[in-house]
Amino acid sequence: MIEAFSYMFKDNKIFQKAGWYFVFLFVSAFLSQYASTLAYNIQDKEVLIQYIIYLLLGFFISLIPIGYFYLCTKALMLQKDNYILPCFNVGKCFLLGLKFFVNIFVQSAIFYLPFILLATIGFAIGISGGKTAMGIMLILLIILMFIYLIALLIYFVILCIYMPALNCIFAKKEWLTSYLRFIKATNLIKQDSGTYFKGVGIYVLLLFAYLLLYGPFSFITTILLGRTILSAFLIALIGSVLSSYLIFVFSYVVVKSVKHESIE
């Protein structure tokens, strides 16, 4: 796993490829950050429209660097020790990023659906009238929120454990239901659980390190400069610089954590 931090430099076009990744990631991050500055100053319809436009642009452009992560992961699966990273193809990256979004949307919809249904029932009880009904609704919603927070914690832990395997499945097969293939992911993990959990540990530690660097910087920058274009620029810049290196590390960790040859 140590090679995860240096293998990408064997490709003599690494800076060109990482540069394109950085450009698209930075633009999407800046647009999203700028949209957040507008969110605190929405006073009329014109600002609201601008907020929606920048937010949507940031989201759609972000699909391109997301797609490139999976393109890199798939390329590593097809190689042994070559490590020639894929060229940055905007169309392929966007399509792959869109498929990833559909995966996450489907997964989230299934996870949140029971809570939405229960909350709807609680709301229906509340509007049925009477103080007793309102009291029942309040108690029900409190219980539901408590259950939901526990479920959210469990869901997060499960995702942390399964994410490298699920990432590998999606990168190789590109199924729109890849992130629901927990049985297939479990079978992959069982093949070499020691190596897999070592990869998960590195994956989580790197993610934590990223958040530890990016989070405080983002917070301090916002405090010092306020929610301005300059703060949005600096926050997007630092986050994009860090991610432009970590994308290749994450790809390697994902591929080397499982026996991806057995994915059918």
Looking at residue 118, its pLDDT comes to: 65
Residues whose CB falls within 8 Å of the CB of residue 158, separated by 6 or more in sequence, listed in order: none
Q: What is the DSSP letter of 81?
A: S
pLDDT tens for each residue of 107-166:
877 777 766 766 666 666 555 555 555 566 667 667 777 777 787 788 878 888 888 899
Q: Determine the residue type at 85.
A: L
Give the integer Cα–Cα distance in Å for 150 and 164: 23
Within 10 Å of residue 142's Cβ, how many Cβ atoms?
Answer: 11
Nearest to 39 by CA among 28, 26, 48, 29: 48
pLDDT tens for each residue of 27-37:
999 999 888 88
Looking at residue 97, its pLDDT comes to: 95
Indicate if the alpha-carbon torsion angle 96, 91, 89, 242 is positive or negative: negative
Residue where the block lists tokens 């499945």: 169
Which residue blocks in 78-192 are alpha helix, DSSP H?
90-127, 131-173, 182-191
Looking at residue 90, its pLDDT comes to: 94
Q: Where are the domains of the chain?
A: 2-103+164-262
Looking at residue 215, its pLDDT comes to: 87
Q: Percentage of the chain with pLDDT > 70?
A: 87
In total, the chain counts a number of residues equal to 264
Give the integer Cα–Cα distance in Å for 251 and 44: 44
